Amino acid sequence: MALAKLGVVVLDCPDPRALAGFYAGVLGGTIEDQGEWVDLKLPDGQALAFQAAPGFVPPKWPSPDQSQQFHLDLDVEDLDAAEKGVLALGAKALDVEDRTRTFRVYADPAGHPFCLCVGWMTS
């Protein structure tokens, strides 16, 4: 028996509204702005939250000295189309040289690493 269930993943960042807007462009959903805390309610019922963090320092990827702490895997149907979209929204490519893999690595506008992954979608 589980002791708890996952409520929401919260990303620290310098500008919660801007980062919520980026992920709304990637994932869809509705932004609920509460100032220093912003919720993104996704169409499938899940949510992401964004919290203002003064002095925020983005993780490094890849870095043997500094942990990336975590990353998001985002399932897509078409890597090339999704890549074009996230770059237009302000993502930065971190590791996209190997075009034969089923994933590519990016950083969101606040520097959090995330992967676009094809073929891992559940039905």
* Residue 38, amino acid: V
CATH number at residue 76: 3.10.180.10
Buried b (16+ CB within 10 A) or exposed e, 11-46: bbbbebeebbbbbbebeebeeeeeeeebbbbeeeee
Examine the pLDDT at 19 and tell me if it is beyond 50.
yes
Same domain, 69 and 117: yes
Q: What pLDDT does residue 123 have?
A: 43
Number of domains in the chain: 2
Examine the pLDDT at 65 and tell me if it is beyond 60.
yes
Range of the domain at 113: 57-123
Examine the pLDDT at 122 and tell me if it is beyond 50.
no
19 or 123: which carries more pLDDT confidence?
A: 19
For the chain, give the DSSP string: --S-----EEEEES-HHHHHHHHHHHH--EEEE-SSEEEEE-TTS-EEEEEE-TT--PPPSS-SSS-----EEEEES-HHHHHHHHHHTT-EEEE---TTSSEEEEE-TTS-EEEEEES----
The pTM assigned to this predicted structure is: 0.80
What is the share, in percent, of the chain residues with pLDDT greater than 90?
53
